[in-house]
Each structure stands twice: as C-alpha cells, then as structure tokens.
Amino acid sequence: MLLVAARPLAAQDALSPLPPPVTRGLYRSHWFDFLSAFSENDRAAEQKALEEMVRAGRKVGVRRLSDFSRTAVYLGRRAEQQRQPERAARAYDAALRLDDSNPDAIFARLAFLFHQRRFGELVSAVPDATSALVSTHETRVALASSLGLWAGAAAVATLLGVILSLAVKNASRVLHDIGETAFRSFGRSGALPLLLMIAGLPLLIGFGPVWMVLYWGALLWAYSDSRERRVLGAGFVALALVTPLCGWITEENIRQRSPLYVAAIDLEERREDASAEDGLRQASAVFPEDPDVWFLLGTYAERSGDLERALADYGRSMAADPSDYRPVLCRGNVHFVEGDYGEAIRDYIEANKKDPRAADALYNLALARGEAYDFDGQTQAMTAARALSASRVAAWSSTPTFARVVSPEYSVMRARARIANWNAQPKSRRLPGHGTAAGPWTAIFSPWALAPLALLAAAIGLARLRRRRGVASICDRCGRPFCDRCRRYGDPPDYCMMCARLLRREVSDIEAQAAEASAARRRASSRSRAGRIASLFLPGSHAFEEGRPLTGAAMLFLFFFGIAAAHLDERFFDPVTLPPAGLRVSVVAGAALALIVWLRAQFVGRRAPGGS
C-alpha cells in the first residue's frame, strides 16, 4: 500500500509549492520596471524585468505576451527614428523575448538589421524568423490568404495574357478568315465592320473588357494547336476556381475575427492578448445564453487571478448547459488553487460523471486526493486517467504548471461549430467575425465560376464547327495566311498558292519573285516587331511564337504573381497591428520577381530566332 502511494508522492515532492495567483497587475508591475530600466539604459534591470515577466507567464501557462511585445516594437521604432540603434536593438530583442511569433517584432528586427547593414546577422536570422512566423494560426491564415489571393489574381491575368499572346500570334490568320467571309457576303468593304462587330460583341451587349478578352479566347480556340488548347483550357478552369478560392479566403478571414475563434486560438497558443477577452465580453451581451462564452470568460478570469469572477462565470456556464463537464472541472481547479481540496474533489467527481471519458477530470482528481492524503483514491484515479489517455497524462506530468491541475481545452473545431450556430441567428451580425460570406461550395455554383466553364464549352463547340469549314494557316515559306479556298487542288498543304506556283516554277518573272521575297521579309519583320512589343507588356509571349506555350504561360504567371504580391500587400488579410515602418517584404520580393521575369523574357525573346 505504501509502496503504491510512494510513486505519486515522489512526483509531487518534485513540484514547487503552489504560488499565489498571477494577475495582469503582476505583468504590469514588471513591465513598468522594464520601461524604467529602458529609459535609464540599465541593461541588467531590463533583463531582470523581462525574465520576471516571462517567468510569471510560465506560471499560468502563458507563453506569448503579445500586448507587451507590440509596445516594445513601438519603442524600437521610436528609437530608430531618434537615431539610437543600440536602444532599438534592445527593444526589438525584448519584443521577441515576450512573443517570439509576433510578426511586428520579426519584421521590425529584420528591417533593423538590414538598415544597419548587419547582413550576416540578417541572413542567419531569416530561418528562425520564417519558422516563427508560421508557428501561429493567425500568420498561417494570413500567409495562406495572401498566397491564394496572389495566385488567383495571377491566374486571371495569366489567362488574359495567354489569350492576348495567341491573338498577336494568330492575328493574320483571323484577319484573313474575316476578310474572306466579308468578301463573300458583303464585299471587301465589309471586312472592317465585320471585324469590329465580332471582336467587340461583348461590349455591345454590356460586358466589360475582361469578358471581351475571355470571349476572344473562345474564338481563338479553333486557331490553337493541342498544347495551346491545354494551356487555354487549364486557364479557364483555373479562372472558374478563383471564385470559390476567394470565397474560402473571405469566409476564413471573417470567421477568425469572431470572439470565439480569437479566444480558441489565444488559448491554444497560450497567448496573453487583452483583445480576446474584450471580444468575449462583447459576445456575452449578444449571446448571454451561450455556455461557451461564460466558460471562456471564466477561463480568462481564472488566468488573470480573479477567482471570484471566475467562479461566477463558470456558474453561468453550468446553468446554460448542465451537461457540460468543463465548467465543473474548472470550478474544481479554482477550489484547488484556493486550497479547498474537499470542494475540488467533489467538483472533479461530478465532472467525471458528466463525461466519463474525460481524462483531465480523473488526473485532477488524483492530484486533489493526493493533497487530501487519500493515496488509495489518488492511485485509482491516476490509473483510470492513464487508461483513458496515457500520452496526455505523461505530458501533463512531465510539464506541470505551477497550479499543477490541468484545464480542459477549447478547440478550434468547437469554435467553428459554435460560430456556424451563431451565424444562423441575425443578432450575430452585431459581433466582429460574423458576417455574410459566400463559402467555397456556394461560390462554385455562382455565375462568376460557371461563366468561364461555359466559355470553355463554347470554345470547344465553335472549334468543331470551324473544323468543318477549316481555318486559315500560315505558309511555311513566306508567312502569308491562306485557307483552303485560296489554294488549288494538289498544292502542298503547308504552302500558299503563290509559293506553290513558285515551287512548280510557274512564275518565271524575276521581279515578281523579288517582290514576293521582299513581302515575305516584311511579314517576318512585322511579326517580330509585334512580338517584341507584346513581350514588353506580356513577358513570355515570345514563347507562344516559338511553339512553347507551357513555358510562356509559366513566365506570365510568375510575372503577374510578383505584381500581385507587390500591390496586394498590407491592405489584405494582414495580422500586423502596427503600420509598417517601410516597404514590406512582399512588396520588395514581388517587385524583384516580376523584374527578373521581365528581364529574362526580354533577353530570351531577342535571342530567339527572328527576335532581334
């Protein structure tokens, strides 16, 4: 019996005595000590104050003091403006010490190292900074949202660029076919009006220029080869997916501003941020009947040391949902912290009855019975907790907080489900993060998503109709467009009628041959000039002339992705709460990517055959 009880008792002896509750007042007192030491340039006192703040946070399981970290960033920026680099460096180090995942602090320190030309430290700091940035849910969502937005904008612009590149490449063939049609139906004077009517049909019926270019893509499908059609088809499908992608981005970013979502992330990442509790207080006025709101408010009150308010909030949560074990368990934790182990044991037993699968209730019950010297009961409760989840019990035992008892989790999945329930009620619109947004599954059936697919289907249908009549080709010898009506029976399939006559030596006039050669050079020069002009605005369009549409589309996508990253930066889905002190990383990196792709396109385009 004594041997059985010796193991849990030894584990308890290794734990320090239970301290008094840590409150935000304690954070503030140490923070004021830091500010005083910072103003007096007392480095030792600064480090001591920071160490006390971090230690105070660890006592209650808080790993990130976000509010104080943002203030330290502000101190660093002000020191930079006052040309005090040494003080700025200390402020940024303090900001990262308080919250190593704070994007304000990370970007501010990297920019500071760059401005100070400490490039070695900058390069060595980039891997850790990147890892820290993606360690929090907020920055992961912001990064995914930005990447999705940039990719969506680049996909739309790439499709338009591909269509315009194909239009430049096939302009002579299209003009030839329209001229032939106009000549047979209206005479030669009808070519220009027919061209304007066909090309500008979307504008005539009220659509914008973007839809007009997409309409051109459907018309150019018949003039494209198999590889170009694959690129065009992928572009239309990607354009159809941009709408549900934007719907997902919008929905996710609206949802993560909900007080429930903010609190769930705050607790999951063990962050001290006053905005989370402020949002919950706002939600309690709108949804006073919701048990989750009061449970979370009780959790924050307990974490800040206001145990009386915590008990009141947990009581309201139990009244709203008597079947939930979590507020009962947390009420037992409050009694445990106060040293009332009898009440704590009763609460833990009640929590276990409400949810027999809750390992945390049994684990806390074992700790409370150990404090009450009920070693048999302690062993039984700990054995039952390990039977439910040995890994969680091992984690709780190996990394105990000063309170030792554990609190139930509030998962992001539960927050999502509760947010969906709130959104079904009109009064939720009074809260941030609760608005109307077209979800991805709703957006995929919207006209904006179905229209590109309809254009793709129309393009395939038109190509089949045109296949019966045929479309113009380009003569391999002179570059002149020609169609079946321009050729005689028996002419080589890749030559126009004039080149076929020259090949059969039906034209013996030297002047006619010289004129034909001169015309061929002019056509080649005109195509080259048009390609160079197009490449200035659409880098990668030269690859379509060379028969490499995949390469051309890839270059266009990278170019427009860089442009989107440079322009759609801090104005969209940015978790940084302080205004940027200078150019953002996305602006510099995006502009650099676009410039590199543009320069490479100009260099390669002029080295290509016929590009100079």
Residue 551 CB coordination number (10 Å): 15
| Contact (CB, 8 A) for 105 and 73 | yes
- In this structure, the answer to whether residues 592 and 461 fall within a common structural domain is yes
- In this structure, the answer to whether residues 127 and 171 fall within a common structural domain is no
| Contact (CB, 8 A) for 555 and 576 | no
Please tell me which residue, 451 or 400, carries the higher pLDDT value: 451
Q: What is the mean pLDDT of residues 540-544?
A: 88
- In this structure, the answer to whether residues 128 and 147 fall within a common structural domain is no
Q: In the listed set 135, 166, 201, which residue is the last one of a domain according to the structure?
A: 135
103 backbone dihedrals φ, ψ, rounded to 5°: -65, -30
- In this structure, the answer to whether residues 151 and 241 fall within a common structural domain is yes
Please tell me which residue, 322 or 189, carries the higher pLDDT value: 322
H, E, C per residue of 412-443: HHHHHHHHHHHHCCHHHHHCCCCCCCCCHHHH
| Contact (CB, 8 A) for 34 and 49 | yes
pLDDT tens per residue, range 377-419: 999 999 999 999 999 999 988 877 777 888 888 888 999 889 8
Q: Which two tokens stand for residue 71?
A: 């203030």
- Kindly state whether residue 349 falls inside one of the protein's structural domains: no
pLDDT tens per residue, range 110-139: 888 888 888 888 888 888 888 887 777 877
**Residue recorded with tokens 């001290």:** 272
Could you tell me where the beta strands, DSSP code E, fall in 18-176? 64-65
Distance between CA 485 and CA 478 in Å, rounded?
Answer: 18
- Kindly state whether residue 398 falls inside one of the protein's structural domains: no
Angle between helices 226-255 and 447-469 (to 10 degrees): 170
Q: Which of 214-223, 432-441, 575-584 has the lowest mean pLDDT?
A: 575-584
**CATH number of the domain that residue 68 is part of:** 1.25.40
Calculated CA dihedral for residues 234, 240, 246, 247, nearest 10 degrees? -140
Q: Which two tokens stand for residue 112?
A: 């500071």
Is a pLDDT exceeding 70 seen at residue 25?
Answer: no
| Contact (CB, 8 A) for 191 and 177 | no
pLDDT at residue number 16: 33
**Total domain count for the chain?**
2
Q: How confident is the model at residue 520 (pLDDT cuts 50, 70, 90)?
A: confident
pLDDT tens per residue, range 169-201: 988 888 888 887 777 777 667 777 878 888 888
Q: Which two tokens stand for residue 116?
A: 């100070």
- Taking Cα atoms as reference points, which of 258, 272, 259 lies closest to residue 102? 272
| Contact (CB, 8 A) for 596 and 565 | no
- In this structure, the answer to whether residues 202 and 114 fall within a common structural domain is no
Residue 103 CB coordination number (10 Å): 22
Is 256 in a helix, a strand, or coil?
Answer: coil
- Kindly state whether residue 564 falls inside one of the protein's structural domains: yes
- In this structure, the answer to whether residues 98 and 195 fall within a common structural domain is no
State the chain's mean pLDDT as an integer. 83
Q: What is the mean pLDDT of residues 35-58?
A: 88
Please tell me which residue, 31 or 234, carries the higher pLDDT value: 234
**Residue recorded with tokens 């009386």:** 308
Residue 112 CB coordination number (10 Å): 22
Please tell me which residue, 263 or 11, carries the higher pLDDT value: 263
pLDDT at residue number 1: 30
Q: How confident is the model at residue 5 (pLDDT cuts 50, 70, 90)?
A: very low
Please tell me which residue, 202 or 494, carries the higher pLDDT value: 202
Distance between CA 165 and CA 601 in Å, rounded?
Answer: 14
Q: In the listed set 135, 158, 188, which residue is the last one of a domain according to the structure?
A: 135
- In this structure, the answer to whether residues 126 and 156 fall within a common structural domain is no
Is a pLDDT exceeding 70 seen at residue 507?
Answer: no
Q: Which two tokens stand for residue 572?
A: 């969209």
Q: Are strands 271-272 and 473-474 parallel, antiparallel or unpaired?
A: unpaired
pLDDT at residue number 128: 87
- In this structure, the answer to whether residues 472 and 585 fall within a common structural domain is yes
Distance between CA 463 and CA 220 in Å, rounded?
Answer: 9
Calculated CA dihedral for residues 50, 54, 57, 59, nearest 10 degrees? -120
**Residue recorded with tokens 């019966």:** 468
| H-run or E-run covering 217 | helix 209-220
- Kindly state whether residue 80 falls inside one of the protein's structural domains: yes
Is a pLDDT exceeding 90 seen at residue 229?
Answer: yes
- Sign, CA torsion 9/14/20/22: negative
pTM: 0.77
- In this structure, the answer to whether residues 161 and 238 fall within a common structural domain is yes
Distance between CA 323 and CA 353 in Å, rounded?
Answer: 10
pLDDT tens per residue, range 85-95: 999 999 999 99
pLDDT at residue number 582: 59
pLDDT at residue number 18: 34
- Kindly state whether residue 31 falls inside one of the protein's structural domains: yes
- Kindly state whether residue 286 falls inside one of the protein's structural domains: no
**Domain membership of residue 42 as a residue range:** 23-135
Q: Which two tokens stand for residue 40?
A: 């007096």
Instruction: Encode 296-320: b = buried (16+ Cβ within 10 Å), e = exposed.
Output: bbbbbbbbbbbbeebbebbebbbeb
Angle between helices 359-371 and 375-388 (to 10 degrees): 160
pLDDT at residue number 20: 38
- Kindly state whether residue 387 falls inside one of the protein's structural domains: no
Q: How confident is the model at residue 571 (pLDDT cuts 50, 70, 90)?
A: low
- H helix and E strand count, the chain: 30, 4
* Sequence-separated (6 or more) residues with CB below 8 Å from residue 242: 152, 155, 156, 449
- In this structure, the answer to whether residues 148 and 95 fall within a common structural domain is no
Q: How confident is the model at residue 454 (pLDDT cuts 50, 70, 90)?
A: very high
pLDDT at residue number 295: 94
Distance between CA 438 and CA 423 in Å, rounded?
Answer: 13
| Contact (CB, 8 A) for 408 and 419 | no
- In this structure, the answer to whether residues 89 and 147 fall within a common structural domain is no
- Taking Cα atoms as reference points, which of 490, 607, 598 lies closest to residue 539? 598
pLDDT at residue number 3: 33
Is 481 in a helix, a strand, or coil?
Answer: strand
Q: Which of 190-199, 200-209, 303-312, 363-372 has the lowest mean pLDDT?
A: 190-199
Please tell me which residue, 425 or 516, carries the higher pLDDT value: 425
Q: In the listed set 101, 135, 169, which residue is the last one of a domain according to the structure?
A: 135
pLDDT at residue number 476: 76
Q: Please tell me what DSSP assigns to residue 570.
A: T
Is a pLDDT exceeding 70 seen at residue 302?
Answer: yes
Paired with 473 in beta bridges are 482
Paired with 474 in beta bridges are 481
- In this structure, the answer to whether residues 69 and 158 fall within a common structural domain is no
Paired with 481 in beta bridges are 474
- Kindly state whether residue 9 falls inside one of the protein's structural domains: no
